[in-house]
């Protein structure tokens, strides 16, 4: 039994190292402050006619805002207004511009560069 002592110790150390590496690589959040549904953040267009700012916030920012301002629309970072709800937007992977998405806005081509929109 004594000859298996050092071997058992090595096996235990290797197993602990493997378990530690696995835990580290699988516990890190690959999306940062976002999630799998919104890996690039949540895109918006300001609904104010004189602004129209395109902006993105993280899922964490939205959750923190909702917690502090329950039921209120997220304000535009440019004009700081939220009287009108900001419009949920998609972002074209070709030209990087934003476009309206949501109910009644099934977009198949980018309204700016006219390229096909891919999810």
**Model pLDDT for residues 72-101, shown as the tens digit of each residue:** 889 999 999 887 788 899 999 999 999 988
pLDDT, mean of each 10-residue run, the chain (119 residues):
69 76 61 84 91 93 94 91 85 92 81 88
Q: Which helix (H) or strand (E) holds 22?
A: helix 5-27
β-bridge mates for residue 55, sequence order: 44
Query: pTM to 2 decimals?
Result: 0.68
Query: What pLDDT sits at residue 22?
Result: 65
- Name the residue among 88, 86, 108, 84 with its Cα closest to residue 98: 88
DSSP category for residue 107: -
Q: Residues 47, 86: contact at Cβ < 8 Å?
A: yes
β-bridge mates for residue 98, sequence order: 91
């Amino acid at each position: 039994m004594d000859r298996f002592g050092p071997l058992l110790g090595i096996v235990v150390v290797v197993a602990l190292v493997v378990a530690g590496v696995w835990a580290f690589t699988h516990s890190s959040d690959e999306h940062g402050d976002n999630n799998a549904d919104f890996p690039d953040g949540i895109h918006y267009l300001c609904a104010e006619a004189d602004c129209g700012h395109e902006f993105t916030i993280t899922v964490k920012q939205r959750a923190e805002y909702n917690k502090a301002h329950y039921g209120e629309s997220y304000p535009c970072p440019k004009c700081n207004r939220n009287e009108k709800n900001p419009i949920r937007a998609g972002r074209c992977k070709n030209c990087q511009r934003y476009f309206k998405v949501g109910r009644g806005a099934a977009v198949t081509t980018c309204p700016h560069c006219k390229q096909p929109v891919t999810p």
